[in-house]
């Protein structure tokens, strides 16, 4: 105890003693001082040691026995109290949950079995308790409740799972990525079959920029969507607005122009002897539009360079995403010849972009040959 003037009365002595003691560890003087009841397991354990006659709580950091006296630092005592309190909280929570499930099984399940099917505990590992439905009939709301509970359990226990079962956590992460990719593919396929305007495709690719990254060999970053390659006049005319401006790793830039899956690519009538088909005006117009945006960026580089640091005007490529691959063999051949001859513009169809996603899913799926995931080729 720190040095103080001796108290002049019993009340002053009690106040001084209680002021010096840590309230959660010690009982109040009115209750006889001594360790708080929560710490009873401490002295129950100490009395099992031979030749221990007394316990002294010290302010130093060394725990030892001297001449029948167990000397325990106060910080050790406080840590033990906190550990006991955590254990009590966890126990109270498990008791609360057990009571909750008991009410569900004994009351709710009997009054409204469709909404509250009975649950049976099947496993209990540490703090994680798994429940399964005792009956087979499970309404949709109950299924969602079960899934949400499983997600919360994994999220709250992620660190523990990473320490104890890292391989299982990695497998779960890979499975989530495959499911996410599968969902993206399903959405893409459904949208291709709908007559959506270009604005809807703009939003879809903004939300799933990962799809556009498959167009490039190097890592890319979206700089701007609906960017202005050239400003407009006072009346609003003359503006050159591109769909996406992408920066590749390094100094290169790329302009992506989005059309629709229904955009025609080739003329329906042959140009010569039923084998030569020319490009449709919508495709050639999209290519010209992308090239014009490229030229506008280069010509106005002094205006744009403050927003395009570490890039150069002579490394701007163009990509046009339009239409679907022609099914006619001769039209397909002419389409491939035409787009491979286009300088600085890469033409990719919507179904080819979808095929890239499917190929990625195929390679990410273990034992793809034995699974439902098929090689897109």
At 43, give phi and psi (nearest 5°). -75, -25
Would you state the structure tokens that stand for residue 140, as one six-digit string? 């949709």
Give every CB contact of residue 143 below 8 A, 6+ residues apart in sequence. Answer: none
- pLDDT reading at 262 higher than 60: yes
Check: CB of residue 376 under 8 Å from CB of residue 325: no
Q: Predicted confidence band at 85 (pLDDT cuts at 50, 70, 90)?
A: confident
Check: CB of residue 316 under 8 Å from CB of residue 252: yes
Q: Predicted confidence band at 257 (pLDDT cuts at 50, 70, 90)?
A: very high
* pLDDT: which is higher, 59 or 144: 59
Q: What integer is the mean pLDDT of 9-24? A: 61
Q: Which of 13-27, 211-225, 328-342 shows the highest mean pLDDT? A: 328-342
Give the separation between CA 230 and CA 287, rounded to whole angstroms: 17
Check: CB of residue 323 under 8 Å from CB of residue 291: no
Question: pLDDT above 70 covers what percent of the chain?
Answer: 73
Check: CB of residue 208 under 8 Å from CB of residue 356: no
Q: What integer is the mean pLDDT of 257-276? A: 89
- pLDDT reading at 137 higher than 60: no
pLDDT tens figures, 320-363: 999 999 999 999 999 999 999 988 899 999 999 999 999 888 88
Give the separation between CA 201 and CA 258, rounded to whole angstroms: 7
Among 343, 372, 373, smallest CA distance to 358 is for 373
pLDDT tens figures, 151-189: 676 666 677 767 777 777 677 667 777 888 888 899 999
Q: What is the mean pLDDT of the chain?
A: 78
* Strand partners for 202: none
* Strand partners for 66: 69
- pLDDT reading at 231 higher than 80: no
Would you state the structure tokens that stand for residue 58, as one six-digit string? 């010290």
Q: What integer is the mean pLDDT of 217-225? A: 86
Give the separation between CA 66 and CA 162, rounded to whole angstroms: 44
Tell me, letter by letter, the H, E, C secondary structure of the chain: CCCCCCCCCHHHHHHHHHHHCCCCCECCHHHCCCECHHHHHHHHHHCCCCCCCEEEEECCCCCEEECCEEEEEHHHHHHHHHHHHHHHHHHHHHHHHHHHHHHHHHHHHHHCCCCCCCEEEEEEECCEEEEEECCCCCCHHHHHHHHHHHHHHHHHCHHHHHHHCHHHHHHHHHHHHHHHHHHHHHHHHHHHCCCCCHHHHHHHHHHCHHHHHCCCCCCEEEEEEEEEEECCCCCCCCCEEEEEEEEECCCCEEEEEECCCCCCCECCCCCECCCECCECHHHHHHHHHHHHHHHHHHHCHHHHCCCCCCCCCCCEEEEEECCCCCCCHHHHHHHHHHHHHCCCEEEECHHHHHHHHHHHHHHHCCCHHHCCCCCCC
Predicted local distance difference test score (pLDDT) of residue 252: 85
Are β-strands 345-348 and 316-321 bridged in parallel, bridged antiparallel, or unpaired?
parallel
- pLDDT reading at 299 higher than 60: yes
pLDDT tens figures, 98-122: 888 788 888 888 888 877 777 665 5
Q: Which domains are present in the chain? A: 10-81 (no CATH), 89-168 (no CATH), 185-370 (3.40.91)
- pLDDT reading at 132 higher than 70: no
Give the separation between CA 54 and CA 45, rounded to whole angstroms: 13
Q: Predicted confidence band at 1 (pLDDT cuts at 50, 70, 90)?
A: very low
Predicted local distance difference test score (pLDDT) of residue 126: 47
CA contacts within 13 A on the Cβ side of 359: 10
* pLDDT: which is higher, 372 or 96: 96
Predicted local distance difference test score (pLDDT) of residue 326: 94
Give the separation between CA 11 and CA 57, rounded to whole angstroms: 24
Among 286, 263, 264, 260, smallest CA distance to 191 is for 260
């Amino acid at each position: 105890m720190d040095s103080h003037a001796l108290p002049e009365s019993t009340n002053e002595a009690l106040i001084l003693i209680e002021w010096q003691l840590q309230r959660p560890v010690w009982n109040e003087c009115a209750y006889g001082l001594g360790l708080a009841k929560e710490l009873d397991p401490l002295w129950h354990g100490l009395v099992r040691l031979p030749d221990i006659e007394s316990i002294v709580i010290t302010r130093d950091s060394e725990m030892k026995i001297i001449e029948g006296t167990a000397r325990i630092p106060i910080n050790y005592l406080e840590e033990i109290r906190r550990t006991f309190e955590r254990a009590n909280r966890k126990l109270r929570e498990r008791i609360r949950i057990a009571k909750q499930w008991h009410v569900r099984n004994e009351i709710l399940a009997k009054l409204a079995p469709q909404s509250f099917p009975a649950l049976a505990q099947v496993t209990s590992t540490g703090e994680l308790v798994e429940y399964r439905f005792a009956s087979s009939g499970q309404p949709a709301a109950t299924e969602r409740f079960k899934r949400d509970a499983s997600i919360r359990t994994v999220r709250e226990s992620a660190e523990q799972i990473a320490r104890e079962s890292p391989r299982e956590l990695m497998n779960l992460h890979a499975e989530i990525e495959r499911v996410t990719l599968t969902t993206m593919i399903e959405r893409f396929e459904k949208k291709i079959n709908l007559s959506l305007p270009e604005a809807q495709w703009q939003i879809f690719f903004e939300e799933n920029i990962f799809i556009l990254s498959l167009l490039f060999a190097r890592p890319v970053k979206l700089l701007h969507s609906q960017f202005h390659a050239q400003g407009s006049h006072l009346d609003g005319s003359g503006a050159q607005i591109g769909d996406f401006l992408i920066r590749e790793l390094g100094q290169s830039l790329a302009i992506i122009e989005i059309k629709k899956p229904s955009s025609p690519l080739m003329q329906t009538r042959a140009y010569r002897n039923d084998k030569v088909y020319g490009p449709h005006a919508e495709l050639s117009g999209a290519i010209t539009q992308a090239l014009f945006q490229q030229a506008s960026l280069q010509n106005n580089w002094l205006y744009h360079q403050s927003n395009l640091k570490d890039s150069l005007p002579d490394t701007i490529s163009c990509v046009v995403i339009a239409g679907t691959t022609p099914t006619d063999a001769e039209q397909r051949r002419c389409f491939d010849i035409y787009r491979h001859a286009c300088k600085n513009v890469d033409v990719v169809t919507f179904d080819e972009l979808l095929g890239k996603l499917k190929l990625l899913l195929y390679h990410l799926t273990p034992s793809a040959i034995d699974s439902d995931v098929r090689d897109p080729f």
